[in-house]
Amino acid sequence: MDKRYQHQDHEQEIYDLWEKSNSFNPDSDNQPAKQNKNDSKPFCILMPPPNANDPLHIGHAMFATLEDILVRYHRMLGDDTLWLPGTDHAGIETQFVFEKKLKKKGQSRFDFDRETLYQMIWDYVQENSDVAVNQLKKLGASADWSRFKFMLDKDIVKIVTQTFQELADQKLVYRDVKLVNYCTHCGTGFSELEINHKEQKSPLYYMKYGPFTLATTRPETKFGDTAIAVHPDDKRYQEYIGQEVEVEGLNGLFKLKVIADEYVDPEFGTGVVKITPAHDFNDFEVWQRHQDEIPGPKQIIDYRGHMTAEAGPYAGMYLKKARQEIVKDMQEKGLMVKIDEDYKHSIGTCYRCGTVIEPLPLPQFFIEVKPLTEKALQALDEGKVKVHGAGHDKILKHWLENLHDWNISRQIVWGIRMPVWYSTDNSNIHVVFIKNNERIEGTLKELLNLYEGKYSLDEIEKGLQELRAPVNIKYIISPTSPGENYLQETDTFDTWFSSAQWPYTTLQTGQLNDFSRFYPTNVMETGYDILPFWVMRMLMMGLNKTNDVPFKNVYLHGLIRDAKGQKMSKSKGNTINPLEKIEQYGADALRMALVIRSSAGLDKSVGDGDFKATRNFTNKLWNATRFILMSEKSETKGTGDTEYLEKLSTITQEITRQLNDFKIGLAAETLYNEFWHWFCDECIEKSKAGEISQSTLIKGLITFLKLLHPFIPFVTESIWQTLQKEGFVDKKDSGLLIVSNWPH
């Protein structure tokens, strides 16, 4: 053995050895489970699918390490063990990255029809699709790559669309015009879970509105006002309730009715608010309560962030510019009373690009969630799912109890296109299409009738970029066209709609009997930050689809922070590239540093000091082995052999119990301390004095190699192969450490 463990000389060779032996595949004959197949229990983890074309970050390294520890442990126990890997198409995130590439070329997504753009993104993803997989292998991930799945695999897409049809048959799908959280930069709506809220200072404008003064942060929406509201108990305004008041605007006089609604806070501003149903969620709800009194929503901001024709002279202006011009013009006309420049309030921003979210009315498909959340809550109450992680079970229940209906429509190209079809007999369908590099839009009535002979339905379908159908239109759900003269919905499913089905889509499209063999899975391990996005929705969808929970345990790891405990970010320059740390310290050192002393649901700080310490630990293991192999062989029983073996058994039982209880960080710490301070500092010294025989000491080394293997697989396998060549490994354990039996 070399004087020091050089990870660069061993890791790739060892991983190739594992793959060549087919050790990751539960169907392989090279499995501990095959030795006692009748008693073999299934153990399955589904890999949270990273983005297909993105390099791994430190959070990926954390999930891969934790899951690999559990998988290697259960494989050695003799369980029928599957770790099923895959990658996600990552809808808006992938399209967002691709659009940045287009921008560098002076292009935009609006330059292409949806089919062309989809193919361009597909090609881009395929070119980089092995990035995540290769990096997971560098970490030592022992996933069964023969069962690898991609979210846009045809068989997975088929099940996702079937699920949509089944939900519709259950009357849990509906289409309606509601305000959605819309990002005018990304060009799509989002669910409430995907909005980042932040406090900021914004001017609060006090404006004259007829006999009132009212305050707003958004004077540009005044063209969409349909009413004025006061609190029903506000004594200041009783005489106005139910009356119409004349308001001087920038386009002359107009009338608005004054309504009473408890939504109005008498303490905010002057206790008078304008109601703009098309651009404010609260105002939309006020309109729904007063539909018989006031007009419906009037949209004055379009889906690209510009003012509509309703805004008169400001039509076509970008939102920010329009606000500046409107404020200036109101000041000139004496309609602006004052401006509070230090008003603090919360704004919603796009979680991808940071653009301020615009509430906009849009016909969307929604899932009625209450029947789904009720099943999930019942499963939690009955203990069918256990959440490991610092009170996150209560957080999960809170989300389930308060979840709004789920908007699953996304106005992007990259994803699973909705299997929804509209008859072109409805001439009010609005379309945008590309012909000869020209972007053309209008209703079918306008395009097919007014321009006789210029455009055909075939041309529109071929160049289709976007379709917006009236809310009351009839539609057909079908994986293929229901006939001639039908156009397919251009919206795609929310990424989380397809990923919520990951547990059953992957197993139902895998090897024969995988679903009956491994569902429900044993553990869903992921970061606590996507508990409401993904874990909750998998629970809802899995129960509805299969009548069983998709997993029995949820293990939530925390965020990885820097050595000072700060959240990592590119702007701070404190991010950790796991591949660089593997190159510098080795995969084992990275893995051990991430998990040691970690706890479910709590954040973990790491830095170079931690990586150096765990690299030193791999060298300690290597050097201890070198010393033992170089020691003089002695078969004479030592006076301390019995006590030594008893302690070894106690350590084995403790590690087994800790792993069974999902105390993974504690198990790593226990092994670190017992090997370094007990085995090396005490037992090796006793062996020098003849109190522990070499053969007995080697039994302990072999036990520690097995116990440590799930945590630091490369160095332990390297040492195992050396011991095997020297004849120190029992014949029943001959072969690879990865498929040896767990010590008892």
Asked whether residue 376 falls in the same domain as residue 482, the answer is: no
Say whether pLDDT at 734 is over 80: no
Domain membership of residue 474 (yes or no) is yes
In this prediction, residue 192 carries a pLDDT of 76
CA distance 414 to 421: 19
The model's confidence at residue 38, banded by pLDDT at 50, 70 and 90, is low
Say whether pLDDT at 216 is over 80: yes
Asked whether residue 651 falls in the same domain as residue 719, the answer is: yes
The model's confidence at residue 35, banded by pLDDT at 50, 70 and 90, is very low
13-19: Cβ within 8 A, 24+ apart: 14/713, 14/714, 14/717, 14/718, 15/137, 15/140, 15/714, 17/717, 17/736, 18/142, 18/717, 18/736, 18/738, 19/145
CATH classification of the domain holding 652: 1.10.730.10
The model's confidence at residue 37, banded by pLDDT at 50, 70 and 90, is low
CATH classification of the domain holding 131: 3.40.50.620
Domain membership of residue 574 (yes or no) is no
DSSP character at residue 488: E
In this prediction, residue 611 carries a pLDDT of 96
Q: Which residues of 86-105 are buried (b: 16+ CB within 10 A; e: fewer)?
A: bbbbbbbbbbbbbbeebeee
Domain membership of residue 590 (yes or no) is no
CA distance 173 to 254: 40
Asked whether residue 620 falls in the same domain as residue 717, the answer is: yes
Domain membership of residue 290 (yes or no) is yes
CA distance 408 to 423: 22
For 365-387, the DSSP string reads EEE--HHHHHHHHHHHHTTSSEE
Asked whether residue 119 falls in the same domain as residue 63, the answer is: yes
Asked whether residue 33 falls in the same domain as residue 147, the answer is: yes
Three-state DSSP class for residue 409: strand
Say whether pLDDT at 481 is over 60: yes
| pLDDT over 70, % of the chain | 98
CA distance 190 to 410: 7
Domain membership of residue 594 (yes or no) is no
- Range(s) of the domain holding residue 461: 419-490
Contacts of 458 (CB under 8 A, 6+ apart): none
CA distance 716 to 722: 10
Candidates 586, 617, 605, 621; CA nearest to 703 is 621
In this prediction, residue 670 carries a pLDDT of 98
As for how many domains the chain has, the answer is 4
What pairs with residue 526 in β-bridges?
Answer: 556
The model's confidence at residue 453, banded by pLDDT at 50, 70 and 90, is low
In this prediction, residue 414 carries a pLDDT of 95
Domain membership of residue 602 (yes or no) is no
Q: Give the end of a domain, one of 338, 360, 382.
A: 360
Q: Are strands 149-150 and 86-87 parallel, antiparallel or unpaired?
A: parallel
Domain membership of residue 560 (yes or no) is no
Average pLDDT over residues 9-24: 97
Say whether pLDDT at 451 is over 70: no
In this prediction, residue 130 carries a pLDDT of 85
Say whether pLDDT at 36 is over 80: no
Candidates 692, 502, 657, 589; CA nearest to 73 is 657
CA distance 161 to 493: 9
Of 191-195, 618-622, 694-698, 723-727, the range with the highest mean pLDDT is 618-622
In this prediction, residue 572 carries a pLDDT of 83
In this prediction, residue 638 carries a pLDDT of 86
Contacts of 205 (CB under 8 A, 6+ apart): 215, 216, 217, 219, 327, 336, 339
Asked whether residue 109 falls in the same domain as residue 242, the answer is: no
Say whether pLDDT at 622 is over 50: yes
Asked whether residue 402 falls in the same domain as residue 532, the answer is: yes
**Residue that the structure tokens 């209450």 belong to:** 370
Asked whether residue 119 falls in the same domain as residue 146, the answer is: yes
Encode pLDDT of 309-341 as tens digits: 999 999 999 999 999 999 999 999 999 999 999
Say whether pLDDT at 422 is over 70: yes
Contacts of 461 (CB under 8 A, 6+ apart): 487
Cβ atoms within 10 A of the Cβ of 290, count?
18
Asked whether residue 159 falls in the same domain as residue 117, the answer is: yes
Q: Between the CA of residue 409 and those of 139, 366, 368, 373, 465, what are the distances in Å?
A: 36, 8, 14, 20, 16
Asked whether residue 513 falls in the same domain as residue 534, the answer is: yes
Asked whether residue 157 falls in the same domain as residue 228, the answer is: no
Encode pLDDT of 166-198 as tens digits: 999 999 999 999 898 999 988 888 877 778 899
The model's confidence at residue 392, banded by pLDDT at 50, 70 and 90, is very high
Three-state DSSP class for residue 93: helix
Encode pLDDT of 518-535 as tens digits: 999 999 999 999 999 899
Q: Give the end of a domain, one of 473, 490, 507.
A: 490
Residue 190: in which H helix or E strand, if any?
strand 188-190
Residue 585: in which H helix or E strand, if any?
helix 578-585
Average pLDDT over residues 665-672: 98
CATH classification of the domain holding 306: 3.90.740.10
Domain membership of residue 592 (yes or no) is no
Three-state DSSP class for residue 12: helix
pLDDT greater at residue 193 or residue 104: 104
Q: Which amino acid is at 522?
A: N
Q: Does the pTM exceed 0.85?
A: yes
Asked whether residue 354 falls in the same domain as residue 396, the answer is: no
Say whether pLDDT at 200 is over 80: yes
